[in-house]
Amino acid sequence: MSRGNATLKDLAKKLDLSIATVSRALSGRSSMPKATRERVETAAREAGYIPNRAARSLVSGRTGLAALALSERHADSLNEPVCYLITELSSALSHHGIDLLLTTVKPGQSDMEVVDEIIHARKADALILTGVRDGDPRIAPLVQTGFPFVAYGRPQEPDAWTTWVDSDATSAAVQAAQLLVDLGHRRFVLIRSPEDTTFRDRWTMSVKHTLTLGGVPPAQVTTLTIKQRDRATLLPEIKDALERVEPTAILALDDDLALASIDAATGLGWHVPEQLSVIGFGASRAGTLLPPGLTTFDPDVRQCAKCLAQVLDALLGGGDPRAHSLRHSIRPKLVSRGSHCPVRNAPVEDLSEIRKRHMENA
Q: What is the pLDDT of residue 30?
A: 53
User: Would you call 128 exposed, middle or buried from its count of C-beta atoms within 10 A (0-12, 13-18, 19+)?
Assistant: buried
- The residue-averaged pLDDT of 148-162 equals 82
From CA 105, how far away is CA 114, in angstroms rounded?
Answer: 7
**pLDDT greater than 50 at residue 61:** yes
User: Tens digit of pLDDT for each residue in 163-182?
Assistant: 999 999 999 999 999 999 99
To the nearest whole number, what is the mean pLDDT of the chain? 84
Distance of CA 288 to the CA centre of its chain: 20
Comparing CA positions, the residue from 10, 315, 148 lying closest to residue 23 is 10
pLDDT tier for residue 54 given thresholds of 50, 70 and 90: very low
pLDDT at 52 over 80: no
Quick: pLDDT tens for 190-220: 999 988 889 999 999 999 999 987 556 778 9
| CA–CA dist 260, 119 (Å, integer) | 39
Q: What's the pLDDT at 356?
A: 58
Ranges of H-type helices in 215-253: 231-245
Residue 103's pLDDT is 83
Kindly report which listed range (44-53, 80-89, 143-152, 225-234) carries the lowest average pLDDT score: 44-53
pLDDT at 76: 47
Q: What is the pTM of this model?
A: 0.79
Answer yes or no: are the C-beta atoms of 318 and 28 closer than 8 Å: yes
Number of helices (H), then strands (E), belonging to the chain: the values are 15, 12
Q: Which helix (H) or strand (E) holds 155?
A: none
pLDDT beyond 90 at 117: no
Which long-range contacts (C-beta less than 8 Å, at least 24 apart) are formed by 111-117? Answer: 111/69, 111/71, 111/137, 111/138, 112/137, 112/138, 112/141, 114/69, 115/69, 115/141, 115/142, 116/141
Integer angstrom CA distances of residue 349 from 116, 186, 246: 56, 16, 24
User: What's residue 81's pLDDT?
Assistant: 80
> Residue 357 has what pLDDT?
58
Q: Provide the pLDDT for residue 1.
A: 47
Which pairing describes strands 220-225 and 249-252: parallel, antiparallel, or unpaired? unpaired
State the distance between the two ends of the chain, measured CA to CA, in whole angstroms: 55
- The closest alpha carbon to 100, from 31, 150, 165, belongs to 150
CA-to-CA dists, residue 125 to 27, 152, 319, angstroms: 14, 17, 15
What are 258-312's pLDDT values in tens digits?
A: 999 999 999 999 999 999 999 999 999 999 998 899 999 999 999 999 999 999 9
Beta strands (DSSP E) in 170-274 are: 187-192, 220-225, 249-252
Per-residue pLDDT band at 108 (split at 50, 70, 90): confident
| Count of alpha carbons within 13 angstroms of residue 189, beta-carbon side | 25
